[in-house]
Amino acid sequence: MGLFSKISQSADLVHGMATRLGADIANPILRNPDQAALDFRAMILRCSACTDQAGCADLQARCAQLDHAPDYCMNKAELDPPTA
């Protein structure tokens, strides 16, 4: 897979995981676009280093909603809902 394809796939996976978890990644972009762009880029790059993107894509295909990111998710800390 080429670099740009990998980055595009990773961006789709990050967005899909955020959607399934109900994580708000759009609002920070509106509040502080420069910092949010750096944060989103970091999430995409972490995702691109994941060794189980196929498993993540399969999980997202099977589940429209998730309570928590899978343990293998390299963006779990950023995407999981805050604990009380």
What pLDDT, in 10s, does the model give residues 59-81? 999 999 999 999 999 999 999 98
Please check the confidence at residue 1 and state whether its pLDDT lies above 80.
no
The domain in which residue 50 lies consists of 3-79
12 within some domain: yes
Average pLDDT over residues 18-45: 92
13 within some domain: yes
pTM of the model: 0.90
CA distances from 84 to 2, 7, 61, 66, 79 (A): 41, 34, 29, 18, 15
84 within some domain: no
Into how many domains does the chain fold? Answer: 1
Average pLDDT over residues 22-47: 92
Q: Give the per-residue pLDDT at 5.
A: 93
Please check the confidence at residue 84 and state whether its pLDDT lies above 80.
no
Task: Please give the share of the chain, as a percent, with pLDDT higher than 70.
Answer: 99
